[in-house]
A and B are shown apart, each in its own frame.
Chain A
Amino acid sequence: MAGKRGGSSKKLLHALDLDGIASTLRNVSLPGKALTWSRFCGALSLVLTVQLFISGAAMCLYYSPAPGTAYDSVDFAMFSLPFGSIVRGIHYYSWNLLLAVLGLHLARAFIIGAYKRPREPVWISGIIILLVIPLFIITGDLLPWDQKGYWSTQVRLSIISSVPVAGDFITRALRGSSMTGIVALTRFYVLHILFLPLLLSCLIAVHFHFLARRGIAPSLKNSNSEVSRVPFLPDMVNRWLFLFLITTVILAAISWYWPAPLGDPADPTDSSYVPKPEWWVLFLNQLVTIFKGPLMIVGSMIIPGGVIIAIIALPWIDRTPDRHPMRRKGVMIVGAIFIMLFFLLSIVGYMEHHGPLH
C-alpha cells in the first residue's frame, strides 16, 4: 500500500512538473543546531505568521469594510458563527505573541552577534520584518470599528501628521478625506489584507534566502566544530507542523476562555473617549508624553527613527569579527541601556494608563 501511495504521489508530482522542486527540497539540509531551543523564536515567529494569515483569511469571509456594518460583521463573526470567537482570538493573541517573540529573536541575534559579516542582509531583513508588523496592528486596529480602534487611529494619525514635510501627506493618503470614515476604513482594510501581507511574504522570502545563502550563526562555544545536519524535508517541516498544531490548540483554548476584546461601536462624536496605549507601544507613548508641544517630533520621530537607524547600521558600527558578548562590552552596555530604558518607559506607561497611577 505504502509503495503504491508513494508511486501515486510521484506520478502526481511528475504530472504537475513539481518533481524537480520536490527532489531539491529533499536534498536541502540544515545544521542540527537550527533545531535547538535557543533558535526556537524564529520557528515560532514563522508559525505565528502563518496562524495570522489563515485566521485573517477566515475572518475576511464575513467582514464588511464599511463604518455602518464593520462592527456588526465582526460581532456576528465572533458570536454567531461556530468557533468565530476562537478564530478572532487566535488572530488577536497571535500578533501579540508574535511581537514579543520577534523581540526575543532580535535580542538573541544581538547578544550572539548574528548581525556580523557575512549575515548583514539577514539582520537587516529581520529588522524590516519587525518594523512591518506594527503596520499590520495599526491598520488592523481600525477594522472592527469599535471605540478603541477608532480613537487609537485618531491619535496615531495625529502623531503622524506632526511629522514635518511628509506628515500631512501620509495622513491624507491614509485617511482619504478630512474625517476617518469609509475611505480610511477601505484603505486600512486593503493595506491590512493585501499590500502588507504581500510585503511581509516578500520580506520573509528575502530573510530565508539570505539565511540559506549566508548560513545561520554558529554556536559561540564551538563555532569551528563540524555540526551534524538534518534534512529540511521532513524533519524541519514536521517540527513546524508540530509547533503549528501545539500553538493552535493553546491559542484556541485561551481564545475560548478569554475572547479577543471587542469594545463599544465607534462613536466619532464621543470625543470623551481616551484610548489606552497597548503594551507594545507604551514606551513610544511615554516618549511622546515627555516631549510635548513643538518638541513632540523628538519623541515621535527623532529618537525612534535614530534608534531604528542605529539598529540597522549595527553590522557596520560593530565591525569586530568577535561575536562573544563578553568581548563586545561597549555594544552590550549600550544595548543593555536601551533595553532598560525600553522597559522603564513601558512600566511607567503601564502604571499611568493601566495601573495604580491611572
Chain B
Amino acid sequence: MISRRAINSMGILAGIVFALSMQTADAHRIVVAARHIAAAPGGLDDPVWGTLPVVPIPVKGRNESANDDETVWTTAAYTDETLYFLFRWKDPTLSVIKQSWYFDGSAWHHLEGNEDRIALLFEITRITNFATRGCAVTCHSPVDLPRERWKLATRTEREKGDLWHWKAARSAPHGHADDAWLTVAGNPTGSYRETGRRKDKGSGGDIKNQTGDKSGPLYMQDPKRPPSAPGFLLLEEAVEIKDYSIFKAGDVIPFRLPRYPSGSRSDVKSVSRHGGGEWLVMLYRKLDTGHDDDTIFNPLKKYNFAIAIFDNSGADHSKATQPLTLEFER
C-alpha cells in the first residue's frame, strides 16, 4: 500500500522533527531527575545509590546564616510506587540537643543547642509564582506585610503546598519526616504569629517534656524497655517520673518527646546518619498516598520544589534553594 522507501523517508523526517521538537527544561534551572529503579533501596548504603546521578544543589544562607552558603548533594529515584531522595550536606556539628534537660545535682536546666533539619516544599495545587520564585513566595513574608505577622503561607486557599520536614531530634528518631501542608495564614494553634503551616491528618509531632511549673522533665525512659532510639526519648517509651532522687549530677533527659506518627502525617519515612562531618538523609514517600494533603507524583509530570536546610536551628534562619524541578526519567 505504501512503499518501504516512503516509510523510510518519513521515518527519518519524523525522527528529526521529534528530536528537534522535544525542548528541554529551562537551562538555568536545576533539575533533579529521578531514575526508575526496580527495587526499593535498602537504606543509606544501598549500592543502587552509587549508580544514580548526584545533583549538587546550592543553598544560600539568609538572616543569621547569610554568609554560610552550602551545597546539598541530591539523588532521586523511584519505583512503581515510591519516590526516594538521598540528601548529603556538610555539617561538622551534630545538633540534636533541642534544649534537653540537664541535672546539675540540685536543679534542672535547659542545655543550649537546637537541632539540624531539612525541609522540602512541593505544590499540591499550583502556588502562584512558586515555579519562578520558590520559597520566596511562601516561606518568607510578602514585602507588604511585617515579618512578625506572617510566615510560611500561601496567598489564597486554592494554593496548597506539601511540606516534608525532617528534624534530627524530633522526627528522625522514629524514622519519619513530619508531613505537613501549607495554606493561607491563620493562627489555629495559637502560635506567636500567623502561619499557613498545617499538620497532615493523623497524630505525630512531639510534646514538651516538662512539669507543670516548667522546672524540670516530667517523663523519663521506661526502665523496663531499652530505648529504640538511644539518646532520644520517644513518647511511646516514656514513663512519668515518680522519684526524682534517682538522678545524679550530669544526667540529661530530652526536652522534646517525638510521638510515633499515624495517618497521613506518617507518609514520609526517613533513614539518616551523621558522620564524617556531614548529614546523610534518605526521605521516601509513596507517589500517591491517597491523602488530599499530599502531592500526587505522576511520573509523566515535572514538579517544582524547593529545599531548605537548618543548622542547629529552631527558628526560620536557614539556607534555601532557588526553585528546583523534579522530573521522572522513564
Contact = CB atoms under 8 A, between A and B. Distances in A.
Given A257-B330, A264-B132, A265-B131, A243 B2 contact: yes
Interface of A is mostly: helix
B21 interface: yes
B10 A265 contact: no
Given A37-B3, A71-B126, A104-B13, A273 B27 contact: no
A50 to B, nearest CB: 17
A44 B10 contact: yes
A72 B20 CA distance: 26
A258 to B, nearest CB: 6
Interface stretch (B78-86, B198-206, B222-230, B297-305): B297-305
Contacts of B21: 92-93, 96, 278-279
A147 interface: yes
A303 interface: no
B1 interface: yes
B144 interface: no
A87 B298 CA distance: 17
B178 to A, nearest CB: 27
A100 B132 contact: no
Contacts of B330: 257
Contacts of A72: 125-126
Interface in B114-171: 125-126, 128-129, 131-133
Given A85-B300, A101-B13, A270-B132, A265 B20 contact: no
- The listed residue with most A CB atoms (<10 A of its CB), out of B14, B25, B133, is B14
Given A100-B13, A258-B22, A264-B26, A239 B3 contact: no
B16 interface: yes
Contact of A279 (B3, B14, B20, B128): B20
Interface string A35-60: 01100100010000000000000000
B23 interface: yes
Contacts of A85: 300
A269 B125 CA distance: 21
Contact of A37 (B6, B22, B23, B128): B6
Interface residues of B, number: 34
A147 B26 contact: yes
A259 interface: yes
Interface string A239-282: 10011000000100010011101111101011011001011000
- The listed residue with most B CB atoms (<10 A of its CB), out of A40, A96, A264, is A264
Given A93-B21, A96-B18, A269 B129 contact: yes
A175 interface: no
Interface size class of A (residues with CB under 8 A): 35 or more
Given A96-B17, A267-B129, A278 B2 contact: no
A159 to B, nearest CB: 20
B214 interface: no
Interface string A72-98: 100100110000010000001100110
Closest 10 A/B residue pairs (Cβ): A37-B6, A264-B131, A279-B20, A96-B21, A267-B132, A37-B3, A270-B132, A40-B6, A100-B17, A96-B17
27 contacts: A37-B3, A40-B6, A40-B9, A40-B10, A72-B126, A75-B126, A78-B300, A78-B301, A79-B298, A93-B17, A97-B13, A97-B14, A147-B26, A147-B132, A239-B1, A250-B14, A261-B23, A264-B131, A264-B132, A265-B126, A265-B128, A265-B129, A267-B133, A270-B133, A273-B132, A279-B20, A354-B24
Given A97-B13, A239-B1, 11 more contacts: A44-B10, A72-B126, A75-B126, A93-B17, A93-B18, A104-B13, A263-B26, A264-B304, A265-B131, A278-B20, A354-B24
Interface of A: 36-37, 40, 44, 71-72, 75, 78-79, 85, 92-93, 96-97, 99-101, 104, 147-148, 239, 242-243, 250, 254, 257-259, 261-265, 267, 269-270, 272-273, 276, 278-279, 350, 354, 358
